[in-house]
A and B are shown apart, each in its own frame.
Chain A
Amino acid sequence: MKNAVAGLGLAPDAAMVTFPMDMFLPGSDLGPLKARRREFYHGLTRWKSDFAQAEAGASAMLAVEGATYGEALTRANNLLLTNLWGDGLPLWPATRERADWILQGAALPRTHVIGKFPPRGGVTTVETCAVALAMAGGRPEYLPVLIAAVEACLDPATFFDQLQATSGGPFPVVIVSGPIAKEIRVNSGFGCLGPDPQRPAGASIGRALRLLQQNLGGALPGTGTMAIYGAMRYTNVVLAEDEDALPGGWPPHATERHGFAPGTNSVSVFFASGVTNIRRRGAKKETPEEDVRNGLWRMADFMRTPNLAALAGWEHGTPGMMMIPPVVAQTMAELGWTKHSVREFLWENSKIPMELLRRAGAPAWIEIDANPVTRDSIKLDPWPISATPGNIVFIVAGGSHPTHAHWLQAHSPRVTGRVVRVPETFDRLLADADRDLGCGAGACRI
């Protein structure tokens, strides 16, 4: 509630009368409502805000002391946790030195305001992004991707305020495109959803984004975000499409979805609420044609479920992202499949018969959707999980191994793209990374 009013630009100390969840369930005892009527009347008449602009202005510096550096570091982490600014894993306190180091990756002034992080409305600047990235163990060359991802999240069309607060717990998925993905070590291969010590950028960038969601956006479990389960959001998802492995004629995701020219450094952000493995490869004897077609059916069959996860993105967003490994993409391409035709197959064959929707009580959710186009889709039988095949995000990523595909079910009103801007000194930052981390853009030890 405090987040909601602060995010609207009101003082955050709203008049409140709070009750346990039970009272809001069907058939509940509403006696407590009557018993506490005077509190309602007070809130509606005599209540006044006590907020005195104390939180306005530039972010403050905090300080701790310890007999040793280790003790001071422990106390800093304790202070961050007790102020509800941590995630339970060790943090690097964003000292001036560390934040300034990260800011070497900024193409914009440190005071540049990107927006307000909903629902709480914390003012989001280049500096606050650098502070979060410093805490998350990041490096300067990661900052341009983090800032582009934050810009995408804060685009009003993304409906990020709702995504932050909703009980479904959607988390950002950031697809990095262009040469910057390899340059800063974002993984597109084996274990691309992490962790990967040779390609650690996605973990830090995603963790920094998560810290911003919590510390500026107020997404604290059970209050700022009603995410019932939380969905493994420590690092969100930051990965790259394996653009080098795309078969001829298969355009990169950023070109298909956002119209960015191939080779453009960019991010594409949507929101997922789960990740599922699909055993795509067959067993025993089968031809390449059977392998591809059976695998596609298994994917479509999985997508054809009346859990309404995709409703939020039905018209403009996405029902989810299907990921297939490069070796499978190559086989598909050799048999004449394209990204377009794969998407058409998945869309056509994941339509849900209205009878199954009715059995699950699903039509009521379609009927009350805020989007009239989505409401109107109730007339379709079978019901497609999105307005068009183009809504489905389909990328080539993962280890070059044919057995599995991955489906990231979405809760995403939009898929938002942003170009990544890097500072003039970016090459020096990459050279520093090679010096510090070794191996360069390609992995060299595994």
Chain B
Amino acid sequence: MVRLEFHDPSGALEVTQPHAPRLASFEGRRVGFVSNEQWQAYRMLPILKDMLEADFPGIEVLPVDAFPQGNALIGSEETAALVKKSRVDAVVVGNAA
């Protein structure tokens, strides 16, 4: 029998930060959207807003365009500051390429 041992070529992965903690529920929470406006976001995100508002009493979902939109703006420090200032409990990011 011939045995061949060789390196796994996929390299290591390094986890350096946890995923954002999940809310226990949306009830009574304030939620915002940040979008780069790609791939039908202008149709999908309003539907998601309507669904959240219908299914979770007491939720407040900000308008889809409450924060700056587009590739050039959603990753900026200014947008991050606006999101923090709005005191939302969660943000849904629509970032498609």
Which A residues fall within an 8 A CB radius of B? 5-6, 8-12, 14, 23-26, 28, 30, 33-34, 37, 40-41, 44-49, 51, 53, 55-69, 71-73, 75-76, 80, 83, 85, 93-96, 98-99, 116-117, 120-125, 127-128, 131-132, 134-135, 162, 165-166, 211, 215-216, 226, 368-372, 375
- Other than the given A73-B4, A94-B6, A117-B11, 18 more pairs (CB < 8 A) read A9-B16, A9-B17, A10-B18, A30-B44, A40-B48, A45-B23, A55-B12, A55-B13, A57-B12, A60-B8, A61-B6, A65-B2, A68-B2, A94-B7, A95-B5, A99-B7, A123-B14, A370-B72
**Distance in angstroms between the alpha carbons of A72 and B5 in the assembled complex:** 10
Interface of B is mostly: loop
Contacts of A33 in B (CB 8 A): 44, 47-48
**Which are the 6 A-B pairs with shortest beta-carbon distances?**
A122-B11, A9-B16, A93-B6, A24-B39, A216-B11, A94-B7
Q: Which of B10, B15, B96 contacts A9 (CB 8 A)?
A: B15
Contacts of B18 on A, CB cut-off 8 Å? 10-11, 49
Residues of B contacting A117 with CB < 8 Å? 11
Q: Which residue of A lies closest to B20 (CB)?
A: A10
Q: What residues of chain A lie closer than 8 Å to B19, measured between beta carbons?
A: 5, 10-11, 14, 49
Q: Does residue B81 face the partner (Cβ distance < 8 Å to A)?
A: no
A59 & B2 in contact (Cβ 8 Å cutoff): no
In the complex, whether B92 has a CB less than 8 A from a CB of chain A is yes
Bound complex: CA A58 to CA B16 (Å): 16
Q: Are B2 and A66 in contact (CB-based, < 8 A)?
A: yes
Residues in A whose Cβ lies below 8 Å from that of B17: 8-10
Partner of A63, one of B4, B14, B48: B4
Q: CB distance B9 to A94 under 8 Å?
A: yes
Could you tell me the distance in whole angstroms from the C-beta of A128 to the nearest C-beta in chain B? 5
Would B72 and A85 count as touching, CB distance under 8 A?
no
B4 in contact with A93 (CB, 8 Å) = yes
Q: Does B85 contact A (CB under 8 A)?
A: no
Q: Say yes or no: B9 contacts A64, CB within 8 Å.
A: no
Residues of B within 8 A of A (CB): 1-19, 22-26, 39-40, 43-44, 47-48, 51, 55, 70-72, 90, 92, 96-97
Residues of B within 8 A of A73 (CB): 4
**Closest chain A residue, CB of each to CB of B6:** A93
CB-contact partner of A72 in B3, B72, B92, under 8 A? B3
Q: Is the CB of A62 within 8 A of B6?
A: yes
Name the distance in Å between A442's Cβ and chain B's nearest Cβ.
34
Cβ contact of A61, chosen from B2, B7, B40, cutoff 8 A: B7
B96: chain A residues within 8 A (beta carbon): 24
Q: Are B15 and A34 in contact, CB atoms less than 8 angstroms apart?
A: no
In the complex, what's the smallest C-beta–C-beta distance from A207 to chain B, in angstroms? 12
A-B contact pairs, 8 of them (CB 8 A): A30-B43, A34-B51, A49-B19, A62-B8, A65-B3, A95-B7, A121-B13, A216-B10
A44 and B51: CB pair below 8 A?
Answer: no
State A40–B39 Cα separation when bound (angstroms). Answer: 18
- Are A131 and B55 in contact, CB atoms less than 8 angstroms apart? no
Report B89 CB to chain A, min CB distance, Å.
Answer: 11
Query: Which residues of the other chain, B, contact A10 by a CB distance below 8 angstroms?
Result: 15, 17-19
**CB-based contact B4/A76 at 8 Å:** yes
List the A residue with the shortest CB-CB distance to B95. A4
The answer to whether A46 and B9 have CB atoms under 8 Å apart is no
Between B5, B10, B23, B26, the greatest number of chain A beta carbons within 10 A of the residue's beta carbon is seen for B10
**Which of B24, B39, B51 is close to A37, meaning CB atoms less than 8 Å apart?**
B51
Contact present for A34 and B47 (CB under 8 Å): yes
Residues of B contacting A216 in the complex (Cβ-Cβ under 8 angstroms): 9-11
Q: Are B97 and A63 in contact (CB under 8 A)?
A: no
* A49 to B72 CA separation, bound complex (whole angstroms): 30
The residues of B that contact A134 with a CB separation of less than 8 Å are: 7
CB distance from A166 to the nearest CB of B (A): 7
Nearest Cβ in chain B — how far from A351, in angstroms?
Answer: 25
Which residues of the other chain, B, contact A132 by a CB distance below 8 angstroms? 9
Say whether A120 contacts B13, CB under 8 Å: yes
Report the separation of the CA atoms of residues A93 and B9 in the bound assembly, to the nearest whole angstrom: 9
User: In whole Å, how far is B61's beta carbon from the nearest beta carbon of chain A?
Assistant: 12
Q: A59-B11, A121-B14, A368-B70 are in contact. Are A26 and B5 (CB under 8 A)?
A: no
A125 to B10, CA, bound (A): 11
Measured CA separation A413–B89 after assembly (Å): 36
Contact across chains for A128 and B40 when beta carbons are under 8 A apart: no
B residues in contact with A72, CB < 8 Å:
2-4
